[in-house]
Amino acid sequence: MKSWYATKTFQRHIVARVVACMQAVSLLKPGGVLVYSTCTITVEENEAIVAWAVNTFRRQLQLVDQVITMMNFLMMMIMMMLS
């Protein structure tokens, strides 16, 4: 039996994530924040996509190691809605 990661379906899934990331970067305002989040723990869907995006869009993106608390997140959402 083939591993899920070796299937064409999984490969198309990764391509879809890359395309979505490219679209998100193109819509990002200067100084904006792009949050990439998945519900999986696979390197291919998480670290690999982030590394690809940061490498591909060096001039637009920078990787920020930051823990956002729920309160900070809510405040950020409120500020975005008010602006």
Interval 29-80: pLDDT, tens: 888 888 888 777 777 777 888 888 889 988 888 887 666 666 777 888 888 8
Token pair 């869009």 is at which residue?
Answer: 57
Domain of 36 in residue numbering reads as: 4-82
Kindly tell me if the per-residue pLDDT of 9 is higher than 60.
yes
pLDDT at 27: 93
Looking at the structure of the chain, the number of domains it has is: 1
Q: In this predicted structure, what is the pLDDT of residue 26?
A: 92
Dihedral angle, C-alpha 25, 68, 40, 23, nearest 10 °: -10
Are 45 and 14 a contacting pair, CB within 8 Å?
Answer: yes
More confident residue, 69 or 15: 15
Estimate the crossing angle of helix 8-27 against helix 47-56, to 10 degrees: 40
The predicted model scores a pTM of 0.61
Average pLDDT over residues 15-40: 86
